Chain A
Amino acid sequence: MHVAHLSLADFRSYARVEVPLDPGVTAFVGPNGQGKTNLVEAVGYLATLGSHRVASDAPLVRMGAERAVVRASVAHGDRQQLVELEINPGRANRARINRSSQVRPRDVLGIVRTVLFAPEDLSLVKGDPGERRRFLDELVTLRAPRMAGVRQDYERVLRQRNTLLKSAALARRHGGGRGADLSTLDVWDQHLARHGAELLAQRLDLVAGLEPLTDKAYEQLAPGGGPVGLEYRPSSETAGARSREELYEVLMGALEGARKQEIERGVTLVGPHRDDLLLKLGELPAKGYASHGESWSYALALRLASYELLRADGERAGGEPVLILDDVFAELDARRRDRLAELVAPGEQVLVTAAVDDDVPGALSGARFRVSDGEVDRV
């Protein structure tokens, strides 16, 4: 799929802008602070109903305006769809598909699909385990939309169970209280293990598919610098279990083993919410050992691998995603720029941003837009 036309109203710095887009590579070039990233951020918002830069929607609306509108005409093969999102901070967003307003915003999900790489992604390598779990879970949900429900259920069981454990821990410490509360812990264990096993099975499956692709992407970006390996680090030993049923048993066993400690600490210590993805460079973990440049390449390799994986899923999964590379070239030397350009050239649609023309590799043909002071002009 590709975005054939993007129009924004009161989005970030733009009062109004119309950007006709072609398949293939498109570069947005302009000095910092002129609004390049805002354009790709808008495309990303249509894909995820969230921004990759901020957690709340308020900064997305232009100063002084009440709401922002992102509108895109999307081409899936011969089919054209018009998607519109009205962003109302503090209130529910509104969506329209092909001018019909009988849709919920979440119905928009899946029409625009993106893989976005931005400077913030460095935290995939250097940041907390939570960053890597979110990376995995977002990809899992993109490949199997049903998993959004599983993730929600899991989060909710976890909150229920933690509340129960916390009140039990409090009662123990201060004496008295209602010890009988713990009679329901077995029930929450079962539900935690069931949803947890489903999420875990999907993550393991994803990591297995992602590893060779990440290694390949890293080798292309930094020849001879690898190999890279992805190792899923569960909070409890899974002993080679892969299926939902096996993982359910693993989690139930681990919960039983951790119960005493969980009651003492008043928090759930077992489950996918405590897991991590170990990113290895050679034999060492990338976090703490890799240089800034290596970490950068690693994060980029993870995104490129996601892109390849979704492309390989093909039409079944909703068509080829749009690859967005925000401000990626400035950090790479000339040789790596050219390699990256080669790598992404065959994509159905690739949107890149760069501060100066020289940053954009010569090998990257395609359309070029100059972004300056809220104006977007094709060169």
Chain B
Amino acid sequence: MYEGVVQDLIDELGRLPGVGPKSAQRIAFHILQADPADVRRLAHALAEVKEKVRFCGICGNVAQDEQCRVCQDPRRDPAVICVVEEPKDVVAVERTREFRGRYHVLGGAISPIEGVGPDDLRIRELLARLADGTVTELILATDPNLEGEATATYLARMVKPMGLKVTRLASGLPVGGDLEYADEVTLGRAFEGRRLLDV
């Protein structure tokens, strides 16, 4: 145990995701030894991110204004919505530059163990967006784990009466990798989801 404020700092850092007690201690001492100007900049950035960043009123992505950049962009196809769990998933899909539609960020996945039910996710907002008939395809891009799959199934069942095209991202082998390095589960899934080769 360190004294007073130092321990407070270590405790606070230790509450961050991916930071264990040892890392927290290392970061705390790094901050103690750093240039005061650098530390002030960090503190400023921390305070500002909470003040300035908001969540897009339409899709729930992080935004500087009322709406995020994607929702403001008139070139994005309003007929296709890609549903993801977290804002960082939007960034991941954006990096592909393949997707020209819009997003909807749920804010998590259904998980009773963590006390997350459908009411805790932005599902009502999604249904509201689908109501006027502009959207014709819904791409379910939740994580390929159990909770993500369950959330996707739940959404698919909810929107079924609306007669939309509902798709789910494929899961399978990483591109550019070797088949031999794939684990059994991934390879098994890839076998299950194999497709006809049209030539």
Contacts and interface: CB of A to CB of B under 8 A. Distances in A.
B149 interface: yes
Given A149-B184, A187-B154, A161 B146 contact: no
A183 B118 contact: yes
A191 B146 CA distance: 8
Interface centre among B110, B112, B146, B184 (most CB of A within 10 A): B112
Contact of A160 (B111, B119, B154): B111
Contact of B150 (A178, A180, A191): A191
Interface string A162-189: 0110010000000000101101101110
B111 A191 contact: no
Given A159-B113, A160-B113, A184 B150 contact: yes
Contact of A178 (B113, B119, B153, B188): B119
A260 interface: no
Given A157-B146, A160-B146, A183-B118, A190 B153 contact: yes
A167 B112 CA distance: 9
Interface residues of A, number: 23
Contacts of B184: 145-146, 148-149
Contacts, number: 53
Interface in A134-164: 145-146, 148-149, 153, 156-157, 159-161, 163-164
B185 interface: yes
A181 B117 CA distance: 6
A178 B117 contact: yes
Contact of B157 (A160, A163, A186): A186
20 contacts: A146-B185, A146-B187, A153-B146, A156-B146, A157-B146, A157-B150, A159-B113, A160-B111, A160-B146, A161-B112, A164-B112, A178-B117, A178-B119, A180-B119, A181-B112, A183-B154, A184-B110, A184-B154, A186-B157, A191-B150
Given A184-B150, A187-B154, A187-B157, 4 more contacts: A160-B147, A160-B150, A163-B112, A184-B154
